[in-house]
Amino acid sequence: MGEHPSPGPAVAACAEAERIEELEPEAEERPAAAPEDHWKVLFDQFDPGNTGYISTGKFRSLLESHSSELDPHKREVLLALADSHADGQICYQDFVNLMSNKRSNSFRQAILQGNRRLCSKALLEEKGLNLSQRLIRHVAYETLPREIDRKWYYDSYTCCPPPWFMITVTLLEVAFFLYNGVSLDQFVLQVTHPRYLKNALVYHPQLRAQAWRYLTYIFMHAGIEHLGLNVVLQLLVGVPLEMVHGATRIGLVYVAGVVAGSLAVSVADMTAPVVGSSGGVYALVSAHLANIVMNWSGMKCQFKLLRMAVALVCMSMEFGRAVWLRFHPSAYPPCPHPSFVAHLGGVAVGITLGVVVLRNYEQRLQDQSLWWIFVAMYMVFVLFAVFWNIFAYTLLDLKLPPPP
């Protein structure tokens, strides 16, 4: 890639539409066709018998005739797909999905099993990139283990929409912390203030019937030392992951970790309150670290061993701080300090649901059997925790701290 990078997928799609309109003068008199109809016209030129298949040789001719309108990395992937078909034919649906930037699980398997080696230089070796292109390339190497995926992401990413979810959550957490700091006149170890637990966002065992507290506790932190590490991890890990996998998937993992964290506390540490976003943060970080370990040879991020060690040390220090605070004599007995079990709930979500999400870049999660297994496990845990909260506290005759 030189100083004038090739057009992105959206530009290529528009160029294809214009070429088709030139081939069909009467098209102006008809309603605008859907994108798949344009691809159908193009495909039918090489499939006059309407069999639904074209030979890989014709597929290569099609790519060569439209090579100027395709991103070079995308063209490599399409050629690799052609070489991977032992029967010498390309299906129309595979063609439409690829040209529309949709990648099925069968597409990935075809590429991985193909006999073509992508001989062009790696994305990391390309010169003449501007600052934004270098940033996108850096994110690709930080999060994706396969060169094909990295090139596909680099060509497809448009920063629209931006990574809004993690940034919005982080800004809200900082805003609530500053508000509480001013109102309590305390920023370090806010949790020791006698009015801290009176906030309507904190999860408290006596107020567990107020369902919003299982989620809103993330906006309350024990102190600036607690908030600081969570914010750093959210921005350094969460934002790049959202840039690659999207707000929906990363938001799902984050929220699932948050809810699992508070429910885990309500089951395993029944007398303790919960504050902080560690459940969601640990879900994302543990999923990312597990993905790196499982794809160690493919991950090309620099100093990955050292960085993993630093991340684990930071997570361990934060977890140790939470354990120490939980068993430290409370400033407002008989209510104990916040629980540390939410961290473990987040880790459990990260190494199950989170890993499946990160390992299936641009793949349909509903096609992954492992995804449904982990979703079922998560739902069973949620249902168990709900019934536990309804019946167990009464049956065990547990002595809970008084309401704040």
Of 106 and 144, the structure prediction assigns the larger pLDDT to 144
Same fold, 38-103 and 164-396: no
- The whole-angstrom separation of Cα 42 and Cα 183 is 65
Structure confidence at residue 268 (pLDDT)? 95
Using a pLDDT cut of 90, give the percent of the chain over it. Answer: 43
Q: Could you report the per-residue pLDDT of 63-87, keeping only the tens digit for each?
A: 777 666 666 656 666 666 666 555 5
Mean pLDDT: which of 14-23, 165-174, 287-296 is highest? 165-174
CB of 187 closer than 8 Å to CB of 223 = yes
CB of 191 closer than 8 Å to CB of 223 = yes
Catalytic annotation on 286?
A: no
β-sheet bridge partners, residue 91? 53
Structure confidence at residue 106 (pLDDT)? 45
Structure confidence at residue 120 (pLDDT)? 52
Structure confidence at residue 166 (pLDDT)? 96
Query: Average pLDDT, stretch 165-188?
Result: 94
Q: Which CATH superfamily is domain 164-396 in?
A: Rhomboid-like (1.20.1540.10)
Structure confidence at residue 288 (pLDDT)? 94
> Where are the domains positioned within the chain?
38-103, 164-396
| Res. 159 pLDDT band, cuts 50 70 90 | confident
Least trusted range by pLDDT, from 81-85, 213-217, 241-245: 81-85
| Res. 33 pLDDT band, cuts 50 70 90 | very low
Using a pLDDT cut of 70, give the percent of the chain over it. Answer: 76
Catalytic annotation on 343?
A: yes
Coil, helix or strand for 6?
coil
- The whole-angstrom separation of Cα 151 and Cα 78 is 12
| Res. 36 pLDDT band, cuts 50 70 90 | low
CATH number listed for the domain at residues 38-103: 1.10.238.10
Mean confidence (pLDDT) of the chain: 80
Structure confidence at residue 392 (pLDDT)? 92
pLDDT greater than 60 at residue 263: yes
Q: Could you report the per-residue pLDDT of 360-390, keeping only the tens digit for each?
A: 887 778 878 899 999 999 999 999 999 999 9
Catalytic: which of 278, 286, 288, 339? 278
The whole-angstrom distance between residue 401's C-alpha and the CA centroid of its chain comes to: 38
Continuous segment of H or E residues that includes residue 84? helix 72-84
Structure confidence at residue 21 (pLDDT)? 38
Q: Give the ranges where 220-300 is alpha helix by DSSP (H).
A: 224-233, 239-245, 247-268, 278-294
| Res. 30 pLDDT band, cuts 50 70 90 | very low
Structure confidence at residue 154 (pLDDT)? 84
Coil, helix or strand for 31?
coil
Structure confidence at residue 60 (pLDDT)? 73
Catalytic: which of 85, 204, 245, 343? 343
